Structure 1
Amino acid sequence: MRAERVVAGFDSATALLRDLSSHLSGARVPRPGERPGTGQDLLASAGEKANHLPRGLKERIYALSGWTEAVQRHKVGDIRSDRIAEWVAGHYPKQQSDVAFVGSSNGALTHLAAALRAPWLPQTLLLPVRRHGVPPEDASEDLRRMRSTGEELLRANPDWALQHMHAPNQDRLMVAGMCYFRTKWLRLPAAYERHLRDVLRPGGTLVVSDCAMTWPTTRVGERYIFQHGGFGGATTDELQHGSDRVREFLRAYGSDYTKFVAPEPDDESPEAEWGFEPRLLEDLRDLADRQGWNLVRLRYDEPETVSPPVADIHRDWYRDRGLPTGRLLVESFMLMDTYGALRTGSVPFWTVFNKEPSLRALESYLDSREPFDEIRMALFSHGVESVGLAWADQWAGVLARARELGTFLGTDPESFPRDFAVLVRFGRELAQVRGKQPLPSPLRWEEAAPRLDAAEGVELSELMR
């Protein structure tokens, strides 16, 4: 199967990959959810019209747009990891660089990679698979129905570990018609190695993006684990045992369930979407040794842990090159634009999602930094009033901190969290921001590394010189 037909376009890893590779290639950045060259752009194009429809119809359109990207179950055995690795690496131009990244998805590090003009190769990708008849609340039934399909995928791809994920809170609309197979490379694929050898200069630095976040999981097989829920507004305890917030959420959707149902966890594993699987390090060490590269492990507690230091790095970078430093761009999940941030002279602060923990992380950052003259903010809409959602008026409180201008970017606060048109408007409105800046001369790793290493919750370590 063609890789672009297998890998989800609506996932963080794909969106970040396409943004960074487009930036490095000098090409147009695809809209979130877009599948370039395939004619499939439903998630983005449907959003412009869907905002004016009734709630129930909007939710069905959103779910359908994701469902069209999911693989038919009987074709899962035809998926091949080597072809997908070639597809990933093929996004990038063969440009020489002093730095390259491999590992966990992270929006802030994508901005850093763009500033360094460095590629990033993801360890984890999302392969959605169609299935029916599973209530969103019942993760146990999802595992029962799809376990044999997951095992078939692993038999065909011995270099992958599978984290079968069911997120009934923020992904309620999507998981009603599909299951999430998140695959993690345990061995460095040949296409990744070839690309790194082609672009990373002798003596260069290979950085491992290592998100240390873990999650309660259930062991299914040697390379197969099941994860209930994911990083966001609901706590792991709420996902497992329920709460008043969970009951209210389910009641609002007319569910007969009073809590989520899931297999009993028996272990902690790297979080499915963001966490790094350390078994990949062996091949990275071997490659770095053979090529004479510095191998650096960038380990951080949670996805947003690196957002503050990366924002600070950009502010210092602009200042050192005589550019203004007073604009802040707050991004959300896959609503991000590395090129647009640089052209508007904006300091990027990436938030994982639209939930309360992300709002607190942003507020904490602003509490300890010099105020910004302008703050622009985009909010990703996932279509659900899920547990832990931070409402638009709460996010608007951040905009009030701007000294001159605080505004939503591409976001209709009245329609949030069903503002699907934001997928189209975000990039368009960012491109219309006045006061474009020349792209600054590339950042050097030696400038960024000390800032990262000094940040709370971040550790830089040299695994090899």
Structure 2
Amino acid sequence: MTLPPQVAGFDSASAMVVALARFLHGQDTPPLGKPGFRALRPVAAAASRLPAGVQEALYSAFSGAEGRQEAEIARLDMDAISAGIVQAYPRRRYPAVVIGSSGGALVHLCAALGVPWLPQTLLLPVRQRGISPDDPQRAAHALAGTARAMLDRNPDLVLHHMHDPNQDRLTLRRMAYFRVKRRTLGEAYERFLADHLEPGGLVIVAECGKRWPVTHLGERHLFQFGAVGGIPPQEYRQGSDRVTDYLRRYGADRTRWVAPVADGDAPEAEWGFEPVLRDDITAFADRFGFRVRRLAFDEPEDLSPLVADLYRWWYRRRGLPGNRLFVDSFILLDPWWTLRAGAVPYWSVFPVQPSLTALEKYLGDAEPYDHIQLALFCHGVESAGVAAAGQWQEVLNRARVTGTFAGVSPRRYPRDFRTFFGFQAALRRVRPRRQLPEPLPLTGFDEFLGEHGGRYPGLRTQERLMD
């Protein structure tokens, strides 16, 4: 199962498409979405013991290797890319299809319902050399010609050139982040819906309302400095003590970043939903007699408590205990093994302070868990706002019986590259293994929302009635 090479595999949308598509094919999720990468586990274990500087060079080379030549991105045909996305899913009829924002909790919801998800946003990695991660002024304009050429060929796209020197420091040494958002369904998504959505079926529009300051560089061309993670937008632009400490730690010749002036805000590059797409979905649904339901939320993690509680409710209806919590981290998720382990999934966007706070709030509100397993995505740098291993250990101490890290060493975090292999092994070791259930009917999800939906203030659902 291979996505188009112009789409980054080391990214939320593509990794989540692969995880969900493989689940719907009855398969688990291999390391970084590629079965061949299983052979790299000994390499990752050895790399985790190397000096920090060597580790950073290896991470930069590996993650930045996905960057494509500017000429290839300039002549990109997004309809062909979308066709490659839909080909990942099994060819059968579905009661619903989800379209819109990325999110690990959303993937687990789709797995429970047995339905596919089509992302609005994809990451196009562009090869980049000689631009410091700490020079957003230069980065903003370095690829302007490539951006313009690609947008002229694809008039239904909005390009968010995202530059985050805090969390993506190592990858930015070798590639730029072109995140593109669809404003219309396009031929491939329309054909998939027409061919694979049941008559009168439901299109669920997943809408994350997260926004971020941007600089407009041209028509449908935005530059976003910073991204969702450990620090808020104002710290990227105004600086702070922890930003200064971070820059000094990595030898930068400055104490704060200087970025192009923001002249507005827009849907956040990776997670935010571009609402123009909703109008095109609604018009298409009207033509084919499909129903449309909005699933709107403010922050990328807002669905995590709901989906965790939904799984617990579903397990107990099936006579299972629902007493094991597995905390995903960014692209470290596997819906197939989660269900085989009888685990309740809680998706954490990154191992950063805001995600830690959100998880602590969930655990404070939820019935206690006997077992908690915790994955930690390791991005190779001690970024500003990252939560320390000791803080995550305190979360594990909330378990009534056992709390364990899932495939990551707290001593080597955030540079333990075994995490990309070990989190699944932790799920595979859980006994007893459960049989995969039949999908939860949409009526079951509606029943859960009717009983418990009021507990999630960040969630808004609304179904549009057909005329």
Q: How big is the shift at 1:431?
A: 1.3
**Structure 1 residue 5 and structure 2 residue 5: aligned?**
yes
Q: How big is the shift at 1:20?
A: 0.2
| d(CA) in 2 for partners of 1:233, 1:396 | 18
User: Which residue does the alignment assign to 1:309?
Assistant: 306
User: Which residue does the alignment assign to 1:192?
Assistant: 189
Matched letter for residue 326 of structure 2 = L
Check whether the contact 1:453–1:459 (CA below 8 A) recurs between aligned residues: no
Check whether the contact 1:3–1:83 (CA below 8 A) recurs between aligned residues: no
Select which of 407, 410, 414 maps to 1:410: 407
Alignment of 1:217-256 (within 5 A): 217-256=214-253
Q: How big is the shift at 1:41?
A: 8.2
Select which of 54, 69, 72 maps to 2:69: 72
SS at 1:6 equivalent: coil
User: Which residue does the alignment assign to 1:90?
Assistant: 87
User: Which residue does the alignment assign to 1:330?
Assistant: 327
Matched letter for residue 16 of structure 2 = L
Matched letter for residue 295 of structure 2 = L
SS at 1:304 equivalent: coil
SS at 2:143 equivalent: helix
Select which of 203, 208, 227 maps to 2:205: 208
| d(CA) in 2 for partners of 1:75, 1:88 | 18
- Aligned structure 1 segments of 4 or more residues deviating by more than 6 angstroms: 39-45
Q: How big is the shift at 1:159?
A: 1.7
Question: TM-score with structure 1 length normalisation?
Answer: 0.96
Check whether the contact 2:3–2:88 (CA below 8 A) recurs between aligned residues: no
| d(CA) in 2 for partners of 1:447, 1:454 | 17
Check whether the contact 1:165–1:181 (CA below 8 A) recurs between aligned residues: yes
**TM-aligned CA distance change 1:16 to 1:170, over 3 Å:** same
Q: How big is the shift at 1:158?
A: 1.4
User: Which residue does the alignment assign to 1:381?
Assistant: 378
Q: How big is the shift at 1:322?
A: 0.9
Give deviations 1:283-311, integer Å, cap 9, x for gaps. 20112112212100111010111100110
Matched letter for residue 31 of structure 2 = R
Name stretches of at least 5 consecutive residues in structure 1 with no aligned partner. Answer: none
Check whether the contact 2:64–2:172 (CA below 8 A) recurs between aligned residues: no
Question: TM-score with structure 2 length normalisation?
Answer: 0.96
User: Which residue does the alignment assign to 1:58?
Assistant: 55
Matched letter for residue 232 of structure 1 = G
**TM-aligned CA distance change 1:270 to 1:359, over 3 Å:** same
Alignment of 1:59-458 (within 5 A): 59-449=56-446, 450=449, 451-452=452-453, 454-458=455-459
User: Which residue does the alignment assign to 1:25?
Assistant: 25
**TM-aligned CA distance change 1:59 to 1:266, over 3 Å:** same
Check whether the contact 1:289–1:464 (CA below 8 A) recurs between aligned residues: no
Check whether the contact 1:217–1:267 (CA below 8 A) recurs between aligned residues: yes
Give deviations 1:56-104, integer Å, cap 9, x for gaps. 1111111101121110123222321011001100000012221110000
Check whether the contact 1:43–1:66 (CA below 8 A) recurs between aligned residues: no
Matched letter for residue 351 of structure 2 = N
**TM-aligned CA distance change 1:41 to 1:80, over 3 Å:** farther
| d(CA) in 2 for partners of 1:42, 1:147 | 39
Q: How big is the shift at 1:35?
A: 4.6
RMSD of aligned C-alpha atoms? 1.6
SS at 1:428 equivalent: helix
SS at 1:350 equivalent: strand
**TM-aligned CA distance change 1:56 to 1:42, over 3 Å:** farther
SS at 1:201 equivalent: strand
| d(CA) in 1 for partners of 2:329, 2:238 | 29
| d(CA) in 1 for partners of 2:244, 2:206 | 37
Matched letter for residue 299 of structure 1 = A
| d(CA) in 2 for partners of 1:260, 1:44 | 36
**TM-aligned CA distance change 1:45 to 1:178, over 3 Å:** farther
Q: How big is the shift at 1:42?
A: 9.8
| d(CA) in 2 for partners of 1:30, 1:197 | 30
SS at 1:419 equivalent: coil
| d(CA) in 2 for partners of 1:268, 1:67 | 28
SS at 2:5 equivalent: helix
| d(CA) in 2 for partners of 1:393, 1:454 | 30
SS at 1:330 equivalent: strand
SS at 2:152 equivalent: helix
| d(CA) in 2 for partners of 1:404, 1:264 | 51
Give deviations 1:150-205, integer Å, cap 9, x for gaps. 11111121121100000111111111221100000111121111111222111221
Matched letter for residue 79 of structure 2 = D
Check whether the contact 1:318–1:440 (CA below 8 A) recurs between aligned residues: no
How many residues matched? Answer: 461
| d(CA) in 1 for partners of 2:45, 2:152 | 41
| d(CA) in 2 for partners of 1:53, 1:437 | 38
Matched letter for residue 25 of structure 2 = S
Q: How big is the shift at 1:53?
A: 1.2
| d(CA) in 2 for partners of 1:28, 1:109 | 17
Name stretches of at least 5 consecutive residues in structure 2 with no aligned partner. Answer: none
Check whether the contact 1:203–1:294 (CA below 8 A) recurs between aligned residues: yes
Check whether the contact 1:31–1:424 (CA below 8 A) recurs between aligned residues: yes
Q: How big is the shift at 1:426?
A: 1.5
Give deviations 1:392-449, integer Å, cap 9, x for gaps. 1100101101111110111111110001111112212321222111222321223224
Query: Percent identity of the aligned residues?
Result: 46
Of the structure 1 ranges 44-53 and 360-369, higher mean CA displacement relative to structure 2 is found in 44-53
SS at 1:121 equivalent: strand
Matched letter for residue 166 of structure 2 = N
**TM-aligned CA distance change 1:457 to 1:44, over 3 Å:** farther
Check whether the contact 1:212–1:302 (CA below 8 A) recurs between aligned residues: yes
Check whether the contact 1:218–1:263 (CA below 8 A) recurs between aligned residues: yes
